[in-house]
């Protein structure tokens, strides 16, 4: 019985390693915007912008720090406004795993995405999130435009999500600067 269990686990491990290599090799060849019909997206999907530092005429509205989910994810995120437009900015300390295909940046309705889901994948439910854009790169500063038709008051977290396998790599609760002092005592 134990030998059978070990054989099954060994076979499972080989299949997983093979799949991971296949996904890794294919990721460079695939379009970063794969359509998944089970995911609802807005018709006005945000387009990633080139990396940009926060300029003096921009205003930070919300910010947070990533907590790891399915894979180690770290760094800070902020939502800023500039010339009446909102942007999501990942800072230079941002880093997540390179092992997922089809990673996207999402806005999520929950203020605690990781604890509101179940390990190991921390799957998300349809309707609880808005897909902002495909993740530009696995680490470093990057900026994403937030469509004007999005009510940011409806969303309390940012997450890095593997759309293909419904796995949340990491999430950050976004705190409004005006609420940061009172929320800090409650954490």
The predicted-structure confidence for 8-33, as pLDDT tens digits, reads as follows 665 555 545 444 444 444 444 333 33
User: What are the C-alpha distances in Å from 6 to residues 1, 14, 98, 183?
Assistant: 9, 12, 29, 48
For 48-181, CATH number?
Answer: 2.60.40
* Helix or strand holding residue 144 (H, E): strand 142-146
Q: How far apart are CA 68 and CA 45, in angstroms?
A: 25
Q: Give me 80's structure tokens.
A: 């800023």
Burial (0-12, 13-18, 19+ Cβ within 10 Å), 82: middle
DSSP track, 15-80: HHHHHHHHHHHHHTTS-S----TTS---SSPPPEE---PPPTTEEEEEEEE-EESSS-EE-EEEEE
Please give the pLDDT value at position 1.
64
User: What are the C-alpha distances in Å from 161 to residues 102, 123, 137, 170?
Assistant: 8, 9, 13, 7
Given a cut of 50, the residues of the chain with pLDDT beneath it are 15, 17-57, 178-187
Please give the pLDDT value at position 187.
34
Q: What φ, ψ does residue 103 adopt, rounded to 5°?
A: -80, 135
Q: How far apart are CA 65 and CA 73, in angstroms?
A: 10
Q: Phi-psi bin for 163: left (phi > 0), alpha (psi -120 to 50), beta?
A: alpha
Please give the pLDDT value at position 96.
97
């Amino acid at each position: 019985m134990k030998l059978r269990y070990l054989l099954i686990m060994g076979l499972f491990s080989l299949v997983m390693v093979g799949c991971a290599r296949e996904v890794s090799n294919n990721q460079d060849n695939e379009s970063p915007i794969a359509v998944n019909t089970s995911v609802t997206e807005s018709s006005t999907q945000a387009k990633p912008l080139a990396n940009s530092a926060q300029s003096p005429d921009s205003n930070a509205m919300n910010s947070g720090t990533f907590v790891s989910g399915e894979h180690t994810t770290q760094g800070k995120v902020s939502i800023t406004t500039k010339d009446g437009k909102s942007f999501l900015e990942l800072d230079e300390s941002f880093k997540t795993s390179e092992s997922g295909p089809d990673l996207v940046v999402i806005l999520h309705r929950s203020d605690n995405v990781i604890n509101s889901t179940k390990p190991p994948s921390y799957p998300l439910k349809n309707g609880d999130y808005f897909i902002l854009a495909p993740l530009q790169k696995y680490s470093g500063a990057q900026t994403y435009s937030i469509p004007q038709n999005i009510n940011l008051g409806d969303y309390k977290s940012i997450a890095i999500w593997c759309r293909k396998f419904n796995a949340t790599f990491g999430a950050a609760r976004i705190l409004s600067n005006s609420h940061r002092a009172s929320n800090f005592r409650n954490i």
